[in-house]
Amino acid sequence: MFAYPGNMAHAQNAALALYERGALEAFVTTFRYRRDGAFAKGLARLPGELPKSAAAQLERRLVDRVPAEFVRAYPFWEIIRTAAAKANASPVIVDRIWDRMSHSFDALVAGRYVPRAEVVQSFEYTALESFRRAKQLGVVRALHLPSLDSRQSEEIQQREKREWPELRSEYDAYFDSKFARRYARRQEEIALADIIIANSSLTARSHIAAGADPTKVHVAMLGAPPPISEEMIDSGSRHGPLRFIWAGNFRLAKGAHYLLQAWRLIGAGPHAVLDVYGSVQVPARMLESCTDNIVFHGSVPRAKLHAAFRAADVLVFPTLSDGFGAVVAEAFANALPVIVTDQAGAADLVTPENGLIIPAADATALADALKWCLDNRERLETMRFAALAAARQRQWSDFRRDLIEALDTGLRRGGHISHFAPSA
């Protein structure tokens, strides 16, 4: 049984790995959207077209990797949370709804699905009740860790707010008060797990340093979507300013403020454009002095984002703390070189042939990387082919294989009978 209160690609592929082995009883989630489902057909009958933001939101909730009959969705709290966020409710209210959703989802899985499972796979913060029940019943517990140790991430957030006071918020006191309890919950989940699946070597090291048993930790690095063909690369035909692209929420944890500072440092003028795709979550005052040649597009459907990747020259991903960073793999699948920090798990995929790795939280290093791109445009064109090769070398099928191997190894090491032996 696989439980995740969302439908990101890594969760769907984890469930698919079990399905391919004939070992999936259910993929338990919250909201699911299928283009051929009743919800989509109902929307199609409404007059007019859906707003672009709504269409983008639905596409991100698409569940199409696992056959519908294996998916069990419980959408109530997720719909409430999404509605509150779209109505610009206070972050405190949205967070409280998210917390209620996470705990309710965990309790539902514990009561309804754990008793009939042999192995329960869950994600951090939504696994505690499930794992407690599973331990009582002798059910094997596998925990997926998609992020770095949350204490490490919290320390980074606090450091940045000390150094950049303008990033502080009126809601900081509320979130600070929640950290200790939430961290304790995550740590208990880790202690209860028989098998721990990290999405990158960086994530694994982070949790081992925080006390996770290294003998239980296995890495199944995430994969890239299907890559474009080489014929789709318009190498040598680009003119005009160099196009840098940002994908994802424009916020502190992703290093947005360092990119703004680096953008001011390079003073690129008409020679460069920065396209930002995602919601802006830094204070408006931080944008006032550096919006020249920065275009904010908001959230867009995945297909449109991938088209933007193909039209761009470089992805900029200056994250401060990221277990993986799926946008790097998505960029590679669209033949786009990257600038990434050493605090992204996806940096494992980056080489001098397909991108640049810089220290996190270093505006000068980021500015130097941007300048290098401006000075080496022809080199960037050849790097497209290496980026595409990197995507081909790490597909989702590779993630699914590694996940099955991790489960097989973990079960056998724990003295359990394994049904996940890798194919020859």
Q: What is the pLDDT of residues 183-225, one digit of tens each?
A: 999 999 999 999 999 999 999 999 999 999 999 999 999 999 9
**Residue 306 maps to a domain:** yes
The residues near 389 (Cβ < 8 Å, ≥ 6 apart) are 354
Question: Which band of pLDDT confidence, cut at 50, 70 and 90, is reported for residue 44?
Answer: very low
Give the pLDDT score at 40.
46
Q: Within 10 Å of residue 184's Cβ, how many Cβ atoms?
A: 11
Q: Are 124 and 174 in the same domain?
A: yes
CATH number at residue 300: 3.40.50.2000
**Residue 271 maps to a domain:** yes
* Average per-residue pLDDT for the chain: 90
Q: Are 41 and 153 in the same domain?
A: yes
**Residue 252 maps to a domain:** yes
**Residue 421 maps to a domain:** no
Q: Are 202 and 247 in the same domain?
A: no
Evaluate if residue 70 carries a pLDDT over 80: yes
pTM tops 0.75:
yes
Domain count, the chain: 2
Q: Are 190 and 267 in the same domain?
A: no
Q: Within 10 Å of residue 392's Cβ, how many Cβ atoms?
A: 12
Question: Which band of pLDDT confidence, cut at 50, 70 and 90, is reported for residue 6?
Answer: confident
Q: At what angle do helices 91-112 and 76-86 cross, to 10 degrees?
A: 170
Give the pLDDT score at 38.
54
Give the pLDDT score at 238.
66
Q: Which domain holds residue 386?
A: 230-393
Distance, CA of 209 to CA of 48 (rounded, Å): 53
Residues 322-332: tens digit of each pLDDT: 999 999 999 99
Q: Strand 71-73's sheet: what is its strand order?
A: 71-73, 27-29, 2-3, 119-123, 140-145, 195-198, 217-219
Give the pLDDT score at 63.
74
In which residue are the tokens 């300048």 written?
371
Q: Are 242 and 315 in the same domain?
A: yes
Question: Which band of pLDDT confidence, cut at 50, 70 and 90, is reported for residue 49?
Answer: low
* Mean pLDDT confidence for 83-88: 88
Q: Are 388 and 263 in the same domain?
A: yes
Q: Are 373 and 282 in the same domain?
A: yes
Distance, CA of 129 to CA of 132 (rounded, Å): 5
Give the pLDDT score at 43.
45
* Mean pLDDT confidence for 237-265: 91
Q: Are 77 and 196 in the same domain?
A: yes
Q: Are 33 and 178 in the same domain?
A: yes
CATH number at residue 198: 3.40.50
Residues 144-167: tens digit of each pLDDT: 999 999 999 999 999 999 999 989
Give the pLDDT score at 46.
46
Question: Which band of pLDDT confidence, cut at 50, 70 and 90, is reported for residue 54?
Answer: low
**Residue 286 maps to a domain:** yes
Q: Are 100 and 240 in the same domain?
A: no
**Residue 418 maps to a domain:** no
Q: Are 360 and 345 in contact (CB under 8 A)?
A: no
Give the pLDDT score at 61.
64
SS3 label, residue 126: coil
Q: Are 194 and 318 in the same domain?
A: no
List % helix, strand, coil for the chain (3-state, nearest 5): 50, 15, 35
**Residue 420 maps to a domain:** no
Give the pLDDT score at 237.
52
* Mean pLDDT confidence for 83-100: 93
Distance, CA of 30 to CA of 416 (rounded, Å): 30
- Specify the DSSP class assigned to residue 353: T
Whole-number percent of the chain with pLDDT over 90: 76
Return the closest-CA partner of residue 396 out of 145, 167, 222. Answer: 222
Q: How big is the chain by its Cα radius of gyration, in Å?
A: 22
Q: Are 235 and 132 in the same domain?
A: no
Return the closest-CA partner of residue 314 out of 394, 372, 227, 229. Answer: 372
